[in-house]
Structure formats: C-alpha cells, structure tokens
C-alpha cells in the first residue's frame, strides 16, 4: 500500500485513481491508513461480496486473496494480477492505457 501512496503523483499523470478493498472493519482500516499515512480510499467490505465479484474470496477464510485490478473508464476490467502488486508493471500498463496504446 505504501508503494501505491508513493506512486499517486504518477497515477494522477495517467488519469488513474486507486482504492483498496479489504474485509477489515472501518476502524481497523482507518488506524492502518493513519499509521502508514495513506491518503487514497480504503474500502471496508466486511460481508465480502466484493470478493465474490473479483473472485478473491478463498473458502473458509476471512480475508481476500491479493489481486490488482485495473478498470478502464468504461468499466471494463483491463488488468488482473495476483499477489503483491508489481508497481512498475502497473505504471507501464496505465501509461499505455492513458495514451490509447491499449484499446478494447
């Protein structure tokens, strides 16, 4: 998450916004965001329905799997990567998406 905070000025350049989604409650996320100094939205989804939508809800576990999803301005999912975010890969993808190099 700190890596995304570091890259906010670059996301701005590429007309992208970032949000995190977790099953933690709001109080936990607020504490965590304050501690790390995160300024982008963290969404609390305790019930986990967003995990079903993004296919990151492992059975019998109270947490989401890690996944990075990029959604374009038309609401189309354009990028999905599992595991810890590859920040440079994300930035390169956003640059191409913003410049129109990647089209549906």
Partner 1 sequence: MRITYVAISLVAALLLPFGQAAGQAQKSDTHEHDSAAIVRNADGTITYGGEYRFVPPPSPWELIPGNESSRFVFGFYRKDPGKVQLESTFFAYDEEPYGYSLNIEDRSREFLKRFFWDSFVKVTVLEKKKVSVLGAEGLALTLEGKDPVAGQKVRSKVIFGKRGARVVAFYIRQWRLIDNNYDLSAFETFDRFVASLRFVHKSFYEEL
Least Å distance between CB 62 and partner 1? Answer: 8
Partners of 44 in the beta sheet?
22
Q: Rule CB under 8 A: say whether 86 interacts with partner 1.
A: yes
- Separation between Cα atoms, residue 7 and residue 87, nearest integer Å: 8
Of 46, 47, 68, 104, the residue at the interface with partner 1 (CB under 8 A) is 68
Give me the least distance between CB of 49 and partner 1, in Å please.
12
Which residue's CB is nearer to partner 1, number 59 or number 69?
69
3-state secondary structure of 31: helix
The partner residues of 50 in beta bridges, in order of sequence, read: none
Is residue 73 within the footprint of partner 1 (CB under 8 A)?
A: yes
Angle at 76 between CA 13 and CA 88, to 5 degrees: 40
Q: Is 15 a binder of partner 1 (CB under 8 A)?
A: yes
């Amino acid at each position: 998450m700190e890596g995304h905070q570091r890259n906010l000025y670059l996301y701005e350049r590429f007309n992208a916004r970032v949000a995190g989604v977790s099953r933690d409650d709001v109080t936990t996320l607020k504490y965590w965001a304050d501690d790390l100094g995160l300024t982008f939205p963290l969404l609390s989804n305790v019930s986990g329905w967003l995990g079903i939508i993004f296919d990151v809800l492992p059975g019998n576990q109270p947490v989401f799997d890690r996944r990075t999803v990029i959604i374009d301005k038309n609401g189309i999912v354009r990028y999905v990567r599992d595991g810890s975010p590859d920040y440079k890969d994300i930035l390169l993808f956003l640059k191409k998406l913003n410049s129109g190099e990647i089209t549906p």
